[in-house]
Amino acid sequence: MDYPTIEDKIIDDGRISDWLATQMVATRDVDPCKALEDVKKLKVILDKRVDRLLIERKTFKTKVDLNAIDF
């Protein structure tokens, strides 16, 4: 099966991360609809991870009062 030249150019020119380039190659034999559903699931997981990190950072900032420490 021939793949679009533009896809190979994107992989080769370094515009995307190595991880994403690997995923593009790995999913060539996967039904595009199935791959897209998996990407949507991954997005939900990553969004939740980012939300958790933001909450943890805010919690740390509010619980640590460096002005209260007597140097």
7-41 residue pLDDT tens = 888 988 888 999 999 999 999 899 999 999 999 99
Record the pTM.
0.64
The C-alpha atoms of residue 58 and residue 61 are separated, in whole angstroms, by: 5
For residue 2, name the pLDDT band (cuts at 50, 70, 90): low
pLDDT tens digits for range 46-57: 999 999 998 888
Please say whether the beta carbons of 36 and 23 come within 8 A. no
